[in-house]
Amino acid sequence: MKNKSLPFFSFILFICFSCSSTKSLTASHDIGTTTEQIKDSKRIDGNQLIDSLLSNRFSYNKALIEDGFNSKKQLPKPKAIINNTPHEIISFNGLNYLVKDDKVVNIKGLKLSASALSMISEKLASLDQVQQYCCEKANLEYQQKKRDMNAIKTLDRQCFAALNTLKDVTSSIATEARKQNASISIEMSLAKIKLPDIKNPCIKTKRNYVAKIE
Q: What local confidence, expressed as pLDDT, does residue 57 receive? A: 93
Q: What local confidence, expressed as pLDDT, does residue 69 receive? A: 67
Q: What local confidence, expressed as pLDDT, does residue 2 receive? A: 45
Q: What is the dihedral of CA 199, 112, 24, 30, to 10 degrees?
A: -150
What are residue 112's DSSP bridge partners? none
* CA–CA distances in Å: residue 122 to residues 21, 33, 56, 101, 103: 25, 24, 26, 12, 8
Q: What local confidence, expressed as pLDDT, does residue 88 receive? A: 87
Q: What local confidence, expressed as pLDDT, does residue 92 receive? A: 97
List CB contacts of 132: < 8 A, sequence separation 6 or more.
78, 79, 80, 81, 83
Handedness of CA 51, 137, 118, 102 (dihedral sign): negative
- Write the secondary structure of 98-145 as one string of H (helix), E (strand) and C (coil): EEECCEEEEECCCCCCHHHHHHHHHHHHHHHHHHHHHHHHHHHHHCCC
Of the candidates 93, 115, 89, 104, the one whose C-alpha atom is nearest the C-alpha of residue 173 is 93
At 110-136, the pLDDT tens digits run 999 999 999 999 999 999 999 999 999
Give the distance from CA 10 to its chain's centroid.
22
Sheet harboring 43-45: ordered strands across?
A: 43-45, 89-92, 95-100, 103-107
pTM as predicted: 0.75
Q: What local confidence, expressed as pLDDT, does residue 198 receive? A: 64
Q: What local confidence, expressed as pLDDT, does residue 197 receive? A: 73
What type of residue is 3?
N
Residue stretches of the chain with pLDDT short of 70: 1-41, 69-71, 198-214
Q: What local confidence, expressed as pLDDT, does residue 73 receive? A: 77
Of the candidates 191, 192, 201, the one whose C-alpha atom is nearest the C-alpha of residue 161 is 201
At 28-61, the pLDDT tens digits run 333 443 334 445 547 899 999 999 999 999 998 8
CA 54, CA 72: separation in Å to the nearest integer? 19
